[in-house]
Amino acid sequence: MSTIDAPERATPAIPGPPPRILLIQAPYYEAVVGGMRRGAQRVCAEAGATLEVVDVAGAYELPAALRMAQKVAPGWDGFLLLGCVVKGETDHYQFICEAVCQGVMDISGETGLALGFGLLTVETLAQAEARSAEDRHNKGAEAAHAVLGQVALARKWGLR
């Protein structure tokens, strides 16, 4: 982990009823994604949000699952995506990371969904483990803060 310390984030105050968040996870690296999920669950619990978790096969399936969920379950206040891609010896890493990030960005821009995006793109498994630990570097917790902040903003502006 770098020497730069992650900021401490306060759980946002969200007006209205408790938010409903759908967490779509790609648990290929179960220990890593599980750690991120636990960080997200902690943040959501602090905010009084309900969190439902669904699995997809891998990171590549995250954008398609987000698109499906957005179409079939309009009652969600926000969506949280978690996954991990570790660089290997082939170009597979670059293609997957670029495709997933672009797919999620396209959906986000088209729909304006409240979204937290926690896809680790790392060189080593040790880097991923450091970013999924039970501390303030946990990227699942950061992604949960992001989606809850987006939900709060949407409600403030009367969009949800």
Question: What CATH number did the domain enclosing 74 receive?
Answer: 3.40.50.960
d(CA 97, CA 92) in angstroms, rounded, equals 9
Could you tell me if residue 14 is inside a domain?
no
Report how far residue 44's alpha carbon sits from residue 48's, in angstroms, rounded to the nearest whole number: 6
Each residue's pLDDT, cut to its tens digit, for the chain (160 residues) gives: 444 676 778 888 898 999 999 999 999 999 999 999 999 999 999 999 999 999 999 999 999 999 999 888 668 999 999 999 999 888 889 999 999 999 999 999 999 999 999 999 999 999 999 999 999 899 999 999 999 999 999 999 988 7
Alpha helices for 26-136 (secondary structure H): 30-47, 62-72, 92-111, 125-130
29 marked as binding residue: no
Give the count of domains, the chain.
1
pLDDT score for 73: 67
Say what the pLDDT of residue 1 is.
45
Q: Does 54 reside within a domain?
A: yes
137 a catalytic residue: no
Q: Which of 82, 75, 91 is nearest to 147 (CA)?
A: 82
Nearest to 103 by CA among 54, 155, 63, 53: 63
8 within some domain: no
Q: Is 110 annotated as a binding residue?
A: no
